[in-house]
Structure 1
């Protein structure tokens, strides 16, 4: 009897088969609802009418759960949820001191109990079926559109809910949004976490859309509208469309980063994260950048070129994409390309020139020599457009050892004597520690070999945190640690890569 609620929810259920099931709510009621004694004595048309009444609007509250539940406490909670639903829809008067928002939260909190979800799904479907008052019925549908986006029904009930929404679509506008929300829930798992007060107040006013600002490399901001159940991958797909990117493989190489205040918290969002779950703090912002570089670059879109140029340029000027301090000609050419990318017609000033040289190299090069070589380069590159200069700069960067990596500056590493800060590159395959002076790799760790990651607290007040890695085979386990200011960010990014490339990583947090 309790099959409908005892089965765990699943995001991957089989497609509807063409067997004896018609997947109507009447069929579900006959299989899983409590059977009124009067139903047993009826036949023919009277019986059919009585069965239909099980899943049609009721003017009076239920006295026990619709679904035959074995647990009495759950059944009592079902009675409570039905009454709250009637009050929210306006079919019953609200309790003293309670408003629609209180009732909505009460219903969603009850839905957090997995054993109650099928029951509440059946209750709201029952109450919107044949409701005599359109305004009250619309409230029931608005709750159903929320329910389908937050919590999934069981695998048993899922095809019945799907069929109900499909059949209701032509006559009920909210049925279409409920279908879309349920599809997202099937794909991404549902929001689960209850929404903040401000969001629910906006929802009750019919204001489900909010504007979101995404910060792109180079200071470009992109505005887009998100809804209650928008997930990170949908935002990335929209951003990529603006850059002329349509291939799914290339879209997956971009990520949204959540940054709190001035870099206090930096982590990439998983593709299925609901943006309204993470954008609840007024001090957080969203930034987008490319993390993977496996797909061949193509320079057929101005926005694509400018965002990639800005991301690569930032790493170069910070000294993460390192050229030798003795490579005067290379530094001068890169400076000339930067100058042309700004579409400046006048020769660079000395202040301009310094801004074109990576910070770690500014005291180790001859500015006079670079200026002379840069002038020669500008004469040779005369006629290049700003976009052509940006493409040439990216192509030059592609030749450097750590191009295509997310790069961090490591202050210390276990079992290694480092002459100074080293560069740690991370991609979806491995970690690579490199000596910036010789540009020789010091060690490489495959992400596939990782067993455990552990964040290390600073050894002293104001000190630098670290990240410990356990890796290797069972016969040859190894441990190493890196000390760097962005240890938390590195941890989060490693987990992001692991999550996006493998379905399961036992032992990792």
Structure 2
């Protein structure tokens, strides 16, 4: 930081007459603790307004750290917000405030006041990086200080994460800010896997979705980056009124700021070969595939008696009991659209045959068998939505819309015939539409095709906003992987 000061700090008049080692020694004092407020900005600033603000910010810094009395009616949280907001709103002052904080923690005689300055640096490094000019000097300062100062090592970690992920988009809310100043930077987070199984993990103030997703996948035995990228964390607010996948670089505490928010993990891509070598992996995949099947999103015909019976028997063996399936059980094993269409007496006979063949199979083996059998059904590997109406009158009502990382596929649920395919790479614009009538669901308009042959289609479906977010997520993830 002394090298930075020699290059970029303004030289006070008292130093201009000095030369050689005396000048260098005097300049070094500019990056060390001062018990008196500064009268000019540390960095040479030509703008008088910025210079005045820099002097004011140093005064606020001293008040926050405890070197000056706090103004009446202001607490430490308000003073901290004042500094951080100034850094965010006036990028030209960001380096100045970084330098002021570094100066005041260097050689400070009061450890408890010095710790306050390190708290500010810890927040700065997690929220807003210094300029590329200052960055190498701050990095070296933190490395040197980290040999004896644990908070400096924390700052290094925050700065590395900020450079990688861009820093938190919002300032910490008051409750989180207060906890941060008290040293409570970690909290427990519950993530729901398919099937409602909860996974508990600890996240910090600056933890991003990619880090938690990687940890979660590790618990399922997934280590290849290509397969990790096929999973996403979904944010659900309230009673499911907003469902969207979190971008890998998204800070979890920003995403979870709204009340009644929860995180759910789901597999979005199915290109990587499945491997059944981990019980958590098997259970999570089974629950997700079974749910899609029972909701009618993995198409199977009512006439495919043997296939329906096989899938029912595998579900029964997957449950931890040895009793024969009841009538209610058999109904629960059927996709919702098929209930009422299947001859139950015929189904029971076929299921009994399948159960005899499955004798000796463990619940886990049955779950694997169910996934493998379901993988042969149309729309397996897609996220499926029910489209109630489309702008193209030739499309059936309702239609099933399958979404994967390559394209959108519209399918007739009755004939299981694909009706339309739109490559994601051809999408130009997504636009959420308000409901056409008061009691109708919203819509999503898609502009796609080439410049020479532009096309437009809209779909009416209850999950229009979720579909919009998921398409945008898949497009951004394919861009980043490319």
TMscore range, shorter length: over 0.9
- How far residue 333 of structure 1 moved from its aligned partner, in angstroms, is 0.4
Counterparts of 2:397 and 2:430, CA distance in 1? 25
Report what 2:23 is aligned to: 47
Other-structure match for 1:63: 39
- Is 1:72 the counterpart of 2:66? The answer is no
Which residue, out of 426, 434, 439, partners 2:416? 439
Alignment match, 1:430:
407
Question: Mapping of 1:78-89 within 5 angstroms?
Answer: 78-89=54-65
Q: Write the mapping of 1:238-277 to structure 2, written as runs, cut at 5 A.
A: 238-277=215-254
SS in 1 for 2:308: helix
Match of 1:18 in 2: none
CA distance in 2, matches of 1:205, 1:313: 45
Kept in 1, the 8 Å contact 2:395–2:419? The answer is no
Within 5 Å, which residues of 2 pair with 1:154-233? 154-233=131-210
Question: How far off its partner does 1:282 sit?
Answer: 2.2
Q: Does 1:27 align with 2:8?
A: no
Inter-partner Cα distance in structure 1 for 2:130 and 2:448: 40
CA RMSD of aligned residues (A): 1.3
- Contact preservation (8 Å) 1:65, 1:79: yes
Q: Does 1:109 align with 2:101?
A: no
Alpha-carbon separation, structure 1, partners of 2:147 and 2:481: 41
Q: Which moved more, 1:182-191 or 1:42-51?
A: 42-51
CA contact (8 A) 1:343 1:385 kept: no
The aligned counterpart of 1:328 is 305
Measured in 1, the distance between the counterparts of 2:270 and 2:335 equals 23
Maintained 8 Å contact 2:298/2:379? yes
- Identify which range, 28-37 or 308-317, moves more after superposition: 28-37
2:105 pairs with 1:128: yes
Count of aligned pairs between the two proteins:
481
Aligned partner of 2:382 in structure 1 is 405
Q: Deviations over 1:140-159 (max 9, x none)?
A: 11110111000011111111
C-alpha offsets along residues 414-440 of structure 1, whole Å, 9 cap, x if unaligned? 223344311101111110001112111
- Name the TM-score, length of structure 1 as normaliser: 0.93
Q: Which moved more, 1:176-185 or 1:392-401?
A: 392-401
Q: Tell me, what secondary structure is at the counterpart of 2:31? A: coil
Is the CA contact (8 Å cut-off) linking 1:141 and 1:174 kept in structure 2? yes
State the distance in 2 between where 1:192 and 1:341 align. Answer: 44
Residue of structure 2 equivalent to 1:488: 465
Specify the alignment match of 2:13 in structure 1: 37
Instruction: State the distance in 2 between where 1:38 and 1:399 align.
Output: 82
CA drift at 1:462:
1.9
Instruction: Answer whether contact 1:151 1:192 (CA < 8 A) is retained.
Output: no
The alpha carbon displacement at 1:99 in A equals 1.1
**Normalised TM-score (structure 2):** 0.98
1:391 aligns with 2:368: yes
Residues in 1 aligned to 2:169 and 2:129: alpha-carbon distance in whole angstroms: 9
- The structure 1 segments of at least 4 consecutive aligned residues displaced by more than 4 Å after TM superposition are none
1:96 is aligned to 2:75: no
Which deviates more from structure 2 when the two are superposed, residues 207-216 or residues 378-387? Answer: 207-216
Shift in Å, 1:464: 1.4
CA displacement 1:114-166 (0-9 Å, x = unmatched):
11111111110111111111111111111101110000111111111111111
Could you say which residue in structure 1 is the equivalent of 2:285?
308
**What's 1:349 paired with?**
326
